[in-house]
Amino acid sequence: MLNIKLDCFNAVKQNLRSAKNKTPTKNYYISWGVRQDLPQILEIEQSSFQCPWTKEEFIKTLSQRTNVCLVIRKTSGTIEHDIVGYVIYELNKKYLNIINLAVHPHYVRFGIGSQLIDKLKRKLAIDKRRSLVAIISEYNLTGHLFFRANGFRVEHIIPNEFCDDKGVYYDGYCARWHIIRNM
């Protein structure tokens, strides 16, 4: 299972403080991520994480045929604008593994990440998979709260799952959301 890159956001405190002034809107469109989207994805990655992925890491991850990228764009009428968030996930036989998810810091707390998660939840029913899985750094409180708010529950801890830029290892928390089947 690949690691999810959900370290602490650089600007979390400012975004949490200003969240009361933000009004969520529905002017967003989710589509497949393509190579031309990579510069905007890299910009979001670099502004969102303390240890961001490199261009090479994105290319290597997305070159694997079981990995998929979705992007969410801000729209105005029929015109598509900039990418405001993305999710990269891995297709497994019984579940989808969220590898990387990020939202541009200016759009945090607008429901962008939740829209991406909801899209993946809808895919489960179509693809007959039963759950979404995310591995979250033990220090990523924002990630833990986000996934909990979206119905995920931590199932177990994975020792030494993450390594920071100084070579220090720390644990990952495996969170899962199960589809509810009516029987």
> Does residue 5 form part of some domain?
no
Write down the mean pLDDT value for the chain.
84
For residues 154 and 4, what is the distance between their CA atoms, to the nearest angstrom? 14
The CATH number of residue 100's host domain is: 3.40.630.30
Output the pLDDT for position 127.
73
Helix (H) or strand (E) holding 32: strand 28-32
167 lies in some domain: yes
Q: What token pair was written down for 133?
A: 């899985």
For 137, the domain range is 12-178
Give the pLDDT score at 44.
Answer: 96
pLDDT tens digits, residue range 16-51? 334 433 444 568 999 999 999 999 999 999 999 888
Beginning with the edge strand found earlier in the chain, give each strand of the sheet holding 95-103 in spatial order: 28-32, 67-76, 79-91, 95-103, 131-137, 169-178, 153-163
100 in any annotated domain: yes
Q: How far apart are CA 138 and CA 141, in angstroms?
A: 7
Give the side-chain half-sphere CA count within 13 A for 29: 13
25 in a structural domain: yes
What are 76-129's pLDDT values in tens digits? 755 556 899 999 999 999 999 999 999 999 999 999 999 999 999 999 977 789
Q: Exposed, middle or buried, 89 (CB in 10 Å: 0-12/13-18/19+)?
A: buried
Amino acid occupying residue 39: P
Question: Which residues are 86's β-sheet partners?
Answer: 71, 102
What pLDDT sits at residue 14?
Answer: 38
- 7 lies in some domain: no
pLDDT value of position 22: 45
Q: Is residue 131 part of a domain?
A: yes
Establish if 2 belongs to a structural domain.
no
Q: 83-86 long-range CB contacts below 8 Å, 24 or more apart?
A: 83/37, 83/40, 83/41, 83/44, 84/28, 84/44, 84/110, 84/112, 85/44, 85/112, 85/113, 85/116, 86/33, 86/37, 86/41, 86/44, 86/116
**Domains in the chain, number:** 1
Within a domain: 4: no
